[in-house]
A = this chain, B = another copy of it.
Amino acid sequence: MPALSAFVLNCSLKTSDKEPSSTDRMLSDLLAALEKHDVTGEVVRAVDHDIKPGVLSDEGDGDEWPALRQKIVAADIFILGTPIWMGQPSSVAKRVLERLDAFLDETDSKGRMPATGKVALVAIVGNEDGAHHCHASCFQPLNDVGFTIPANGGVYWVGEAMGDVNYVDLPGTPPVVVEMIEMAASNAAHLAAQLKEKTYPGTS
């Protein structure tokens, strides 16, 4: 298997100099699981960067998206991690997805977008309720712009209804979450390797 790379965007609302992020904990666990499959990667906190509103790959004038976009394009696996707010992905995750919209017009001569041949995973953490909808809300635009979603490509943890337990404060990762992360990592690595070896031919 070829060596593979992952790029992970944590779409927490909090900058990385604040208290520990539950989303970060899950993303670290996911990256550790990927390392067993020879995938190495980096986690970046999106909100540490000034991602301008817009749907172009470069909105000029202090826009820090182009550097993040470059990391997405350079990696074999893209992982979008977001907390849940009001049952939905964060506004930061939404901004990231919106900026990926530009891929729709950046096709090559075979009609393939910059994400074609890359695999995406989605990691969701919340105090309560919303993970499945967040998966749906992220899978659809990621797939629209060319990412492939491997089997069981969504991982998550949420607490009981109206709860306030934070994932980052759990004494250990629940066994069902460990299994889910292992499977998503294994599937993503397998599929990314296959697509790296022989990508989609596109249409002519």
A interface residues, Cβ below 8 angstroms from B: 13-14, 47, 53-55, 85-92, 94-95, 97-98, 101, 111-113, 115-117, 128-133, 135-137, 139-141, 143-144, 146-154, 156-163, 174, 176-177, 179-180, 182-183, 186-187, 190-191, 194-195, 198, 200-203
Contacts and interface: CB of A to CB of B under 8 A. Distances in A.
A14 B59 CA distance: 11
A57 B139 CA distance: 26
Contact of A143 (B13, B133, B154, B186): B154
Interchain residue pairs A-B with the least CB separation, the first 5: A87-B132, A133-B133, A136-B140, A91-B95, A91-B94
A116 to B, nearest CB: 5
14 contacts: A13-B53, A85-B98, A86-B141, A117-B151, A131-B161, A132-B133, A132-B140, A133-B133, A136-B137, A143-B152, A160-B160, A162-B176, A183-B203, A186-B200
Contacts of A139: 136, 139-140, 143, 149
Contacts of A153: 143, 149
| Number of copies of chain A assembled together | 4
B151 A88 contact: no
B144 A86 contact: yes
Contacts of A151: 112-113, 115-117, 143, 146-148, 200
Given A158-B160, A160-B158, A179-B203, A87 B133 contact: yes
A200 B194 CA distance: 10
A89 to B, nearest CB: 8
Contacts of A157: 161
Most chain B beta-carbon neighbours within 10 Å: one of A117, A136, A144, A183 = A136
A81 B147 CA distance: 21
Contact of A179 (B111, B133, B149, B152): B111
Given A156-B161, A186-B203, A101 B85 contact: yes
Given A87-B132, A160-B160, A191-B195, 14 more contacts: A13-B98, A53-B90, A85-B98, A87-B131, A87-B135, A90-B98, A91-B92, A111-B179, A112-B151, A116-B151, A136-B140, A140-B154, A161-B176, A194-B198
